[in-house]
Structure 1
Amino acid sequence: MREIVLDTETTGFDPETGDRIVEIGAVELYNHVPTGQTYHQYINPERDMPQDAFEVHGLSTEFLADKPKFAEIAQAFLEFVGDAKLVIHNAAFDMKFLNAELRWVGLPQIPWERAIDTLAIARQKFPGSPASLDALCRRFGIDNSARTLHGALLDSEILAEVYLELIGGRQPDFGLAGTGTVTRSDASDTWRPKPRPAPLASRLTEEEKAAHAAFVESLGDDALWKRI
């Protein structure tokens, strides 16, 4: 099952009063595992960036002036998301903007039922508790120290971690089974993730590597690590 964890940044709160999308970030999951494939695009909103929006996103009118307009990136965005479910925090907000932008350029809108709202999941799972992305990071011990400004790609990467915790502690095929919130893949699902574009860096320190090597050496010549 393919899912896209998605976030947008906008000039304001309502597309019907002239607000526009200025940034889209998305992370691909396959069977609840990140594949390493991402989508990120800054967008020229064709209007000035309000001061309050600049303070939240750090994106200025000057910075966005040479970025493509939504009409220029819309088709590529739709091709990236395909027919995947869209995992969004406060999905009504982002879906409202995405479908307004798609409608304005004459492209098919995304059905609302494709959205998985992590805000709704969090409120159902932890009633009465704060359910903002920052609050959920604190609850699950997820490092969001880099989130000094709202950035779409960083927020979608953080949301992917939060989502996996919400549906069962990063264990595929467990949390929310049978609730209708998350659908499982069936035998006809032939899509497969693409290889990670760059290998992940090792988390081992040089001290840890040296300690392991010394431990293996202490086991003698019959150690399994030496025979493999």
Structure 2
Amino acid sequence: MKILLLEDDLILSAELCKFLESNHFVCDKVYDGDSFLRKIQGNTYDFYLLDINVPKINGLDVCQTIRSFDKTTPIIIISAYGDISDKKDAFSRLADDYLVKPFQFEELLLRMNSLLRRKLPSENSDQDLIVIDDLMINKTEQKVFRAGQEIALTLKEFQLLTYLAEAQGRTVSKQQITENVWEHHFNTNTNTVEVYINFLRKKIDKDFKVKLIHTRSGFGYYLNHV
């Protein structure tokens, strides 16, 4: 998931990109509006973050230019301007959200993930998309995303993850998993389920602070953000 950041404060720009990259985004940064518009001519991005008060071409004009040819890529304005008139101007140019400086990076991440979740359902029916925290499962295309990053799974890993997600936080036993994911009975003393749960944990949880796949000792497994 690639982001282009327009921010002329060099320290904030560097810190914000570092934070986003630690959350598995790719972040490019530019310091003036002219450079931003030239950058998007030869590159494709999934998200735009725009400061308003930047050199050459301000962020609001950049936003309006983007929307003249791109109606769907999410745009968040990040600005020290907090007056309602500034926010009205940004939204009139079709920005998706507005965050006043100083802000917590975690709040920005929450808003970004919210916009990304809204974007996916527009392309798929609700029953084909499962969203738990920052995990998104697209059942139609058999794709999985965590914090906007696509995660490659084998077919059986995808089926197991989907089964856990569709349980909506309830604990499912090894026997239930074998009957519903493998669709046959085998000796539940074997470690097949544990092996595949471990595969999923390495791909879904290992690189993320919040763990989603949990064990309830003596009962089974569940998927939740707590």
Provide TM-score, normalisation by structure 2: 0.27
Structure having greater relative contact order (Cα 8 Å, sep ≥ 6) = 1
Q: Structure 1 or 2: larger strand share?
A: 2
Provide TM-score, normalisation by structure 1: 0.27
